[in-house]
Every structure is written in C-alpha cells, then in structure tokens.
A = this chain, B = another copy of it.
Amino acid sequence: MNQVGGIEKYGFQALVPLETAIAKYFPHFSALGFEDVLLEQALNRILGEDVIAPINLPPFARSAMDGFAIFAKDSFGASPSKPKLLDIAGEIAIGNVPQHELNEGQAMEIATGAPLPRGADAVIRVEDTKVEGSRVKIFQAIPPQRNVILEGEDVTAGSLILHKGEEIRPDHIGLLRSLGIQKLKLAKQPRLVLLATGDELILPGKPLAPGKIYDSNNLMNSALLSRYGAVVVTQELLPDDPAIIRQEVLTGSNNMDVVVCSGGTSVGKKDFLPQVLQELGEIVIHGIAQKPGSPILLGKVGGKPVICLPGFPVANFISIITILGPLLRYLQGALKRDPRPIVFGRIAKNVSVKGLGRINYLRVNLQETDTGYVIVPKKLSGSGILRSLVESDGLVEIPADVEGLEEGEIVKVFLHLR
C-alpha cells in the first residue's frame, strides 16, 4: 500500500463530531454484566443494582450524649436556680439493653450511643445535671427528642440508599457497612490489553538508540484507565508489522473485553491499524473533530471494542478522557461516564482558537481567589508536549464552533484525575 492509496483507502473521510462518534459507537456494545463482590473490595466500583436498606439505622433509639434518659416533661420548669430532682433508676451502658422501663419521676444514666430505655423520650446532658446520692438534679428544661437519635432516623429499612450505576465512595462504604451489608452486586470491570505500536518505541532500561523513544503510553494509560475502573491485564510494545499487530489484536479481542492500541492510527505508510481493523472486523469511526486527539480509530472485532489511540502522548491522553474512559464507564453501566471533577472560573485573558471546526482542549491552571477561580491558560500546546498536561490543573473544552474565549468569561474546567 502506498501513501496516496492509504489515504484513499483508509483516510479520514471527514472528522466526526465527538458527540456523534459516541452516539454511533457506544451502542455497538452493552454492559459487561455483574458479579458479587465483598464490600471490602468495592471502593470505586460501579453498583450493579439499587441498594435497599435491610434494617433501620440506627436499629434502636440511641442517646446522642452522655447524660440521663428522662421524660422530657419531668424537666419542664427546671432552671439552674430551680433544679428538678429525679430518682436514678439505673444505668445504661453502651452495647447493653435497658433492663426495665423508665417511669415518670425517674432518670437513667446513659452513655452516648446507648439505647434509650422504654418510656424515656429525651436525654439531658451530664453537664446540665448533678448527682446527689440516689437522685439527680436537672438544671435545664428540654423538649422531647432532645439528644435522642430515633430508630431509623438515618435510614429506614426498605428505603433506597444507593442507585444502580453509582460509583462507591468511602462514605458509601461506611453506610453500607452500618447496614450490615457484606456483599454487593457490582458491574464487572473491563479487562484490557494495551498494545503500543511503533518501531521507534523501546522500554526504559535500554539505552536510547538514535531515532528511538521510550514508550510512555502504555504505563500512563494503565494508570489513567485504572481510575475508570478498568483492569489492565497485559501491556505490550509491538513493531510496525501488520502481521504481528493483526495477531495481537485478534488474541486481545478473543481474551479481553477491550483492546487498546496506541500509535499507527493515522493515514501514513506505517499506520497499519485501519487496515488490520478492516480485515478483522470493522471500523466504526476514524477521526474525531478534536484537537489534539483527532486520529483516533474506533473499531469492533469479534463483537469487542478495539480502540486505537493516537501515538502522541497528549493526543493519547485526550482520547482517553473523551472516548475510551467514558466507554469503559458505559461498559460498567455508570451513571456518570466522566469522573473528572468540574470547576467554574473566569478566564484570565483572551484565547483565540486555531483549529476551528474541532473541539479544542485548552490546558489551564487554577488560581484561587476569595470570589472563585481565575483560570489561566497555558502557553504550551501541541500533542507531543506532555509537560503541558503535567504543569496544568485541567482542561477547558472549547466547542468546535467557538473562535475563542474572552477575558473574564466564565469557563468550565475539567480537572485532571489523581
């Protein structure tokens, strides 16, 4: 195949808008299914079903303070100068069940978190009391339910507490654990092979021969994709050899949920991936209207997604956050396909856009002020300039039909993932 032929045969017909690409590509695939997972392993996983509370939380009315459980009305009229006097009818330690019911005119000593005795409807803080022999002085009037956490006040048994498609956060784990939940039905995590292609690529540890560069995409992608819930099973460097690439894509599509290539996606002589995908399966999208990150190839082999990312590292990174990452979340049924935090702020200066007709990803820094963020555009750009990402806090997406940004304009920034 020669260069001109290559362009004719596999070339970009026209760059496809990002939204169109997603709408056209994702429905080729469905969610991967579910598995039971121990709560201990559930952090950052996607819920495969709604979670219903099996019990009330707390499971009994508890005291919120150290003090005395009382009938609130027994405190009415009490004040520091005119305390009320109640009989001490026992003591409730935390973890114990009150032995008997409380009667009017009585108080039971109670610890924070201990169950309220039947009859009692309030707790007076120890600071507002004074014990005198078998009786306790109450120095303050309190209303019913004061310092009491009612049974089911946090969660009522049978209520929906988390939705299918939510990502499990640390505080979710706390709530699920409180409810005694041990296992969850979670979305299966996509299993990936990463194939970096290119005769110029070598692994660190080897000396840098002339014309060679260290591959950075496989390891960067592995780290980044883990934040989207993927499990990278293997990573390989492949030469620009169509037979080898074909074999590895085929093996990957047989054994993995998603095959991720990088490099070789464009229309040059050694860009074999379009050819390989056409031979093994189909190309759904070739070329997306974004900058950097346009030479991306979305294909399908044996029913599996095969995504070929551009080789230049920034283009590679952008393609992950715009397409591959969201696809991985889609395959897990996530409600939120883009996990990046979003902030708003005012742009510090005018920005003019060069590649009109494509979404432009502007690298920016955040400066915090009392009234919000000032968004400072970075000078650096270019799909080869990794430092432009490393030194930035996030990206502003400038729509394809927007010529630039005006100083002071409010913009939306997608922060880089940790």
| Complex alpha-carbon distance, A266 and B63, angstroms | 14
Q: Are the C-beta atoms of B223 and A43 separated by less than 8 Å?
A: yes
- Decide: A154 and B66 in contact? CB cutoff 8 A: no
Given the contacts A112-B268, A415-B341, A208 and B226 also touching, CB distance less than 8 Å: no
Give the residue of B161, B199, B224 whose beta carbon is less than 8 angstroms from that of A387. B161
A159-193: CB near B (< 8 Å → 1, else 0) gives 00110000101111111011111100000000000
- Contact of B342 with A342 in the complex, beta carbons under 8 Å: no
Closest chain-B Cβ to A213's Cβ sits at a distance in Å of 6
Cross-chain contact A211 with B390 (CB below 8 angstroms): no
- Asked if A342 and B343 make an inter-chain contact with CB atoms under 8 angstroms apart, the answer reads yes
User: Across the interface, do B153 and A384 meet the contact criterion of CB distance under 8 Å?
Assistant: yes
Residue A399 CB within 8 A of the other chain: no
Question: How far does the alpha carbon of A266 sit from the alpha carbon of B114 in the complex, in Å?
Answer: 14
Cα–Cα, bound, A66→B11 (Å) = 13
Give A30 to B97 CA distance when docked, in angstroms.
45
CB 8 Å contact bits of A110-131 with B (1 = contact, 0 = none): 0111110000000000110001
A173 to chain B, nearest CB (A): 5
Q: Which residues of B contact A345 (CB under 8 A)?
A: 344
Known A43-B226, A93-B270, A208-B55: A313·B214 in contact at CB below 8 Å: no
Known: A111-B270, A387-B155. A97 touches B211 (CB 8 A): yes
Q: Is A382 an interface residue when CB atoms closer than 8 A count as contact?
A: yes
> How far in angstroms is the closest Cβ of chain B from A416?
6
Determine whether A27 belongs to the interface, using a CB cutoff of 8 Å to chain B. no
Q: Would you call A131 and B213 a contact (CB within 8 A)?
A: no
Most chain B Cβ neighbours within 10 Å, of A55, A161, A169:
A169
One of A242-250, A351-359, A368-376 contacting the partner: A368-376
Which residues does chain B contribute within 8 Å of A201, judged by CB atoms? 95
Chain B residue nearest in CB terms to A115: B211
**A344-B343, A344-B373, A385-B154 as given contacts; A172 in contact with B211, CB under 8 Å:** no
- Nearest to A384 among chain B residues (CB) is B149
In the complex, which of the residues B93, B269, B382 contacts A199, with contact meaning CB atoms closer than 8 Å?
B93
Docked Cα-Cα span, A96 to B213, in Å, equals: 11
Contact of A180 among B170, B214, B217, B343 (CB under 8 A): B214
B-facing residues in A195-218 (Cβ within 8 Å): 198-201, 204-205, 208, 210-217
- Partner pick for A386 among B43, B60, B174, B200, CB 8 A cutoff: B174
A402 touches B (CB below 8 Å): no
Whether A3 sits at the interface, judged by CB under 8 Å, is yes
Tell me the minimal C-beta distance from A79 to chain B in angstroms. Answer: 21
User: How many monomers of this chain does the complex have?
Assistant: 2
Residues of chain B lying within 8 A (CB to CB) of residue A220: 170-171, 173-174, 177
CA gap between A226 and B418 in the complex, in Å? 13
CA distance A217 to B175 in the complex (A): 9
The reply to whether A94 and B240 contact each other, CB–CB distance below 8 Å, is yes
Chain B neighbourhood of A43, CB < 8 A: 223, 226
* Known contacts A219-B174, A410-B372: A311-B342 contact under CB 8 Å: no
Contacts of A387 in B (CB 8 A): 57, 154-155, 161, 175
**A73 interface contact, C-beta 8 A:** no
**Could you say which of B3, B94, B162, B178 contacts A198, with CB atoms under 8 Å apart?**
B94
Q: Are B174 and A97 in contact (CB under 8 A)?
A: no
Closest B residue, CB atoms, query A295: B112
> Is A396's beta carbon under 8 Å from chain B?
no
In the complex, given contacts A66-B267, A96-B211, A178-B216, what are 16 additional A-B residue pairs having Cβ atoms less than 8 angstroms apart? Answer: A3-B109, A59-B212, A94-B240, A95-B200, A97-B211, A153-B382, A155-B386, A170-B317, A171-B386, A174-B219, A177-B215, A178-B213, A180-B208, A182-B205, A343-B344, A371-B410
13 A-B pairs in the complex with CB atoms less than 8 angstroms apart: A3-B131, A40-B219, A94-B198, A95-B199, A112-B266, A169-B418, A171-B224, A175-B389, A178-B216, A178-B313, A178-B386, A341-B415, A370-B410
